[in-house]
A and B are shown apart, each in its own frame.
Chain A
Amino acid sequence: QSALTQPASVSGSPGQSITISCTGTSSDVGGYNLVSWYQQHPGKAPKLMIYEDKKRPSGVSNRFSGSKSGNTASLTISGLQAEDEADYYCCSYAGSSLVFGGGTELTVL
C-alpha cells in the first residue's frame, strides 16, 4: 500500500494549461481503470473531479480532464483560473484497498 507518486507542486498563469502526473504500479494505477482525482481547498472536504480514469462528474467543468498511460495517470486543467488554486490528489483502486497520491499543490500565478 505505498502512496502513489505526485509532484509536490505545480504552477501556471491564468489561461494556461497544466498537467499533474500520478505514478503507481501495475497493482494499482496500471491494473484497473479506477483512478480518480480530487480537488481540496484549505479546510474543506475533497471534491471529486475525475473518476474511472477520465470521466467527469456532473457539474465539474470540462476544463478538467483525465488520462492514463500504463502505470501513470494524469490530470490536465486547461484555461487555468484563480479558483483552481488548491491541492489535488489522485487515488487508485488497488484490489481490496484504495491508495492516494501524496498530493500536489497548484499555484495560479
Chain B
Amino acid sequence: EVQLVESGGGLVQPGGSLRLSCAASGFTFSSNWMHWVRQGPGKGLVWVSRINNDGSSTSYADSVKGRFTISRDNAKNTLYLQMNSLTAEDTAVYYCAIYNSGSSEYWGQGTLVTVSS
C-alpha cells in the first residue's frame, strides 16, 4: 500500500524557516517524481514545487522561488521542503504527492504550517 506521511509543520514566526518531510513507503520511491502542493485556510490548491526521481531537476512556483528548496533522500525514502523567509501568505496545509505526467493519484494527509507572530 502506498503511504505518504508528511511531518515538520507547526507555528513559525514571520521571517523564520521550517523543513517539511514526507516519508514514503509501499512503492519504489527512487523511480518516482514527487511534488508539494499547498492549500491555504479556506482556499484552493496551489502547486509549490516538484523534483525528478534522482533529484537532478527541480521546479518551483514563482511565489516560492528563491525561498523554498525541494530535495530528496532516496536512501531514506524521504522528500523534503526547506522553507525560508516565511510570510503569513505561506500559511497552509502542505501536501506531498507522487507526480506522474502532471497528475497525482497518491497524496499524503498534509501537514499544517502556520506563520504568525
Tell me, yes or no, whether A binds B.
yes
Residues from 74 to 107 in B contacting A, C-beta threshold 8 Å: 95, 101-105, 107
User: Chain A, interface size: which category?
Assistant: 20 to 34
Binds A, one of B8-16, B21-29, B45-53: B45-53
- B109 touches which of A36, A45, A102 (Cβ 8 Å): A45
Residues of B within 8 A of A (CB): 35, 37, 44-47, 50, 59-62, 95, 101-105, 107-110
Residues from 30 to 47 in A contacting B, C-beta threshold 8 Å: 32, 34, 36, 38, 40, 45-46
Once bound together, how far apart are the Cα atoms of A108 and B45, in whole Å?
22
* Cβ-defined contact, A45 with B50, below 8 A: no
* Least distance between A53 CB and chain B CB atoms (Å): 10
* Least distance between B63 CB and chain A CB atoms (Å): 8
Q: Does A103 contact B (CB under 8 A)?
A: yes
- B44 touches which of A52, A92, A101 (Cβ 8 Å): A101
